[in-house]
């Protein structure tokens, strides 16, 4: 089922977000990721435990670049922000090329602007790096497998060339 951008934009711009704001007050800061997280709901779809997660990134900071080997995730921005997708590099044996504890990533895909209500998918195995704007925090809803929320399927990637993180990691 396809849900249009206009539908999501109207949902995001016309609902009372006070409940989500209250939840964010109870959010926990995840040091490695560099963001505040709160679980909104969870269920089982087929054999997969799925979580709806609200993530808030402080203005001018980022979510550490990373990827997931198993399963993708659906993202629904509630505010503006920036996003880059990257390709994780592998050696001739199919193992990830590493730089210390981070997988080497090529960030050849142009940076994209996140718009409220304009949902998108982060495919399995694709590195992603979210950045909040300098003047406002970024809030995104994520529908993802429990393994992503629990960080058991998260591998950190190298940062895009020239980018310096301002998050408390």
Domains of the chain by start residue, with CATH: 5-156 (2.60.120.10)
What pLDDT sits at residue 27?
85
Distance of CA 128 to the CA centre of its chain: 7
Q: Which residue has the higher pLDDT, 17 or 33?
A: 33
Q: Is the pLDDT of residue 1 over 50?
A: no
pLDDT classification of 119: cutoffs 50, 70, 90 = very high
From CA 63, how far away is CA 43, in angstroms rounded? 25
What pLDDT sits at residue 5?
59
pTM: 0.83
Mean pLDDT throughout 14-24? 71
CA distances from 117 to 48, 94, 166 (A): 25, 37, 26
CA distances from 138 to 54, 58, 63 (A): 10, 7, 10
pLDDT tens for 44-53 read 888 889 999 9
What pLDDT sits at residue 9?
59
Mean pLDDT throughout 122-129? 96
The answer to whether 160 touches 89, Cβ cutoff 8 Å, is no
pLDDT tens for 136-160 read 999 999 999 988 887 788 999 999 9
């Amino acid at each position: 089922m396809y849900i249009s951008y206009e539908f999501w934009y109207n949902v995001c711009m016309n609902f009372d977000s006070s409940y989500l704001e209250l939840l964010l007050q109870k959010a926990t800061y995840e040091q490695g990721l560099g963001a505040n997280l709160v679980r909104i709901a969870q269920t089982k779809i087929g054999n997969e435990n799925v979580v709806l997660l609200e993530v808030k990134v402080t203005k001018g900071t980022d979510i550490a670049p990373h990827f997931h080997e198993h399963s993708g995730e659906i993202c629904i921005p509630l505010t503006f922000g920036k996003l880059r997708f990257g390709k994780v590099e592998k050696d001739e044996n199919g193992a990830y090329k590493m730089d210390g504890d981070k997988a080497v990533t090529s960030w050849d895909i142009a940076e994209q602007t996140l718009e409220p209500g304009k949902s998108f998918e982060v495919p399995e195995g694709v590195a992603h790096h979210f950045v909040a704007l300098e003047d406002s925090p970024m809030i995104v809803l994520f529908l993802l497998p429990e393994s992503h929320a629990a960080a058991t399927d998260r591998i950190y990637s190298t940062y895009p060339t020239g980018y310096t993180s301002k998050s408390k990691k």
